[in-house]
Amino acid sequence: MNRRFFLKNAAALAASPLLPTTTLRAESEKHLPAIASQPRPFPPNFVWGTATAAYQVEGAVHAGGRGLSIWDTFSHTPGKTFDGETGDVADDEYYLYPEDIRLMQRLGVRAFRFSIAWPRIFPHGTSKPNAVDIDHYKRVLDRLKEANIVPVCTLCHWDLPQALQDKGGWANRDTSYAFAHYAGYVVSQLSDRITYWMTMNEFDSFIDGGYGGGGMAPGLDLPLGQLVQARQNAVLAHGLAVQAIRASAHHPAKVGLAEDISGAMPAIEDAAHIHAAEVAIRERNAPYTTVILEGRYTEQYLRKLGRNAPKFTAEDLRIISQPLDFFGINVYTTQEVIPSDNQEGYEFVPRPATYPHAQSKWLFVNPQAIYWTPKLVADIWGVKNIYITENGYSSADVLRADGQVLDTDRIMYLRNYLLQLQRAVSEGVPVHGYFLWSLLDNFEWAHGYSQRFGITYVDFKTQVRTPKLSSDFYRRVIAENAVG
């Protein structure tokens, strides 16, 4: 049917008093070409990548002189992880990295975000570094270079050395200096091979989740005042590490971090709702992103905490808010905000029971998260260089007898998020790259191997890797530099 016919026909029918015009419009639109079939382009230099983290994929926990991390201790403590599962073997990537680099070549990614295991480099937290594992990472990096894949390195993706936890971990300010020392050492050894550095991954997850009763290692539930101080130690560690990276690099270094901004988006796109979301996002991220980007805690954060407010000096704030070369945002979900005449001026909308989610119950599906989160970060704080350092979806994937994994729900999620990302980029939101979480199924922290985030299926008994249908989807997005 051609479109003109329909318009003409619709006009004729509209004259009829019997049919309401809204029905007519819906009827005629059904026959228009689907807009989604026209690929929406990304800019020519947009960086496509995938992401992993050391403890979730490496395994080989006793190889190369590695010390224990808090995740070894936690996962070996009965009742802490799903089915008592641990990262002892995980994806065995310590040995299988050449195969995983081939998977990345198949996808055509330009960049790979991975993390270095702190307990491999400083098995006892401080004192002598372990050269064996520096050599391991050199081999991985050389292989990536041969494959023409740019490494993007996270220095700490939650695997704090147990030796430091024994002295209080992030609740002890000495840990901040130990982290900076570790960061400086790694950068002095690897800055010829790595340009892009991220200090840490997701403060809220490993601090509030690990020390505030949230089910992450080390599994503590500290009194509020101590928890608040642990938050401050973590952002101080970040700032000290930014300084250490810059001081130790023998080659150009670009420094940032990866933070899962606790999202807020306007429930409706009008000025009042957008304003409410801006205020909400700034307050909700007060202990981390806001203090890092503004160099001060918000008045509301300090007032609400009262005697539990963090103790800091002006020098601490200066260190915490070192300028960054880029800002990485992990985007999974967000929460709608409405304006309110309460004291805060906004209200988070509780999610209705029917709100869709992934296999992970916290992962509420809302594609607009990846439009609004970077947009609001750029608008509120004037950040010019944003990367989406994680985005992904967990699914109850099934490996079929014919060897296929047809994860159409993950494809639906990725397509809709990437369409919203394309919308943001085409409107000028300064996002320069996207790292899909994750290259392959892996140890999903307290959920063990029960939640699969990979675009490659892993049989954890045999370590056989099978690209899922979503990896073909992503490969096509990368090849076309467009989503449709």
Distance, CA of 135 to CA of 152 (rounded, Å): 17
Residue 330 binds ligand PNW, judged by CB under 6 A: yes
User: Among candidates 195, 104, 186, which has minimal Cα distance to 149?
Assistant: 104
Near ligand PNW in 293-322, by CB under 6 A: none
Q: How far is the CB of 357 from ligand PNW (least distance, A)?
A: 11
Tokens of 203: 């403060």
Please, which residue, 230 or 369, has the CB nearer to ligand PNW? 369
For the record, the structure tokens of 6 come out as: 């329909």
The Cα angle at residue 467 between residues 114 and 364, in degrees rounded to 5 = 70
202 forms part of the interface with ligand PNW (CB under 6 A): yes
Site string for ligand PNW, 51-80 (x = CB under 6 A): --x--x------------------------
Distance CA 236, CA 238 (A): 5
Contact 414, 470 (CB under 8 A): yes
Instruction: For 124-148, give the DSSP string.
Output: TSSSS--HHHHHHHHHHHHHHHHTT
- Which residues ranging from 205 to 224 are in contact with ligand PNW (CB under 6 A)? 205
Give CA–CA dist 39/454, Å, rounded. Answer: 24
Least separation, in Å, of the C-beta of 81 and ligand PNW? Answer: 13
Q: Give the nearer residue to ligand PNW in terms of CB position, either 130 or 201.
A: 201
Torsion of CA 351, 438, 209, 178, to 10 degrees: -150
| Catalytic residue status for 202 | yes
CA-wise closest residue to 206 among 363, 59, 360, 69: 69
| Contact pick of 453, 457, 473, 474 for ligand PNW (by CB under 6 A) | 453
Shortest spacing between CB 217 and ligand PNW, in angstroms: 12
Give, to the nearest 10 degrees, the angle between helix 174-190 and helix 224-248: 30
Q: What does 176-197 look like in DSSP terms, one character per residue?
A: HHHHHHHHHHHHHHHTTT--EE
Among 83, 342, 362, 428, binds ligand PNW (CB under 6 A): 362
The two three-digit tokens of residue 198, written as one number: 């991220």
Q: Pick the binder of ligand PNW from 72, 91, 283, 390 (CB under 6 A).
A: 390
Among 71, 122, 332, 387, binds ligand PNW (CB under 6 A): 332
Nearest to 160 by CA among 145, 175, 177: 175
- Check if the beta carbon of residue 456 is closer than 8 Å to that of residue 109: no
* Residue 71 beta carbon to ligand PNW: minimum distance, rounded to whole angstroms: 11
Nearer to ligand PNW by Cβ, of 165 and 335: the residue is: 335
Q: Is position 444 an interface residue for ligand PNW (rule: CB under 6 A)? A: yes
Residue 361: how many CB atoms within 10 A of its CB? Answer: 10
Number of residues that bind ligand PNW (CB under 6 A): 13
For position 37 contacting ligand PNW by CB under 6 A, the verdict is no
Catalytically annotated residue among 85, 93, 259, 390? 390
- Which of 58, 85, 202, 336 does the annotation list as catalytic? 202
Q: Which of 317, 323, 324, 350 is nearest to 336 (CA)?
A: 350
Beta-bridge partner residues of 156: 200
Q: How many CA atoms lie within 13 A of 355 on its CB side?
A: 16
Q: Phi, psi (5° rounding) for residue 102?
A: -65, -40
Closest CB to ligand PNW among residues 332, 434: 332
Of 24 and 207, nearer to ligand PNW (C-beta) is: 207
Residue 260 is a binding residue for ligand PNW (CB under 6 A): yes
Least distance CB 192 / ligand PNW (angstroms): 27
Strands 150-156 and 111-115: parallel
Residue with Cβ nearer ligand PNW (100 or 202): 202
Task: For ligand PNW, give the closer residue by CB, 28 or 50.
Answer: 50
Residue 278 annotated as catalytic: no
- Candidates 65-73, 186-194, 201-209, 415-423 — which segment interacts with ligand PNW by CB under 6 A? 201-209
Pick the closer one to ligand PNW by CB: 91 or 390: 390
Q: Which residues in this chain contact ligand PNW in the complex, by CB under 6 A?
A: 53, 56, 201-202, 205, 260, 330, 332, 362, 390, 437, 444, 453
Active site residues: 202, 390
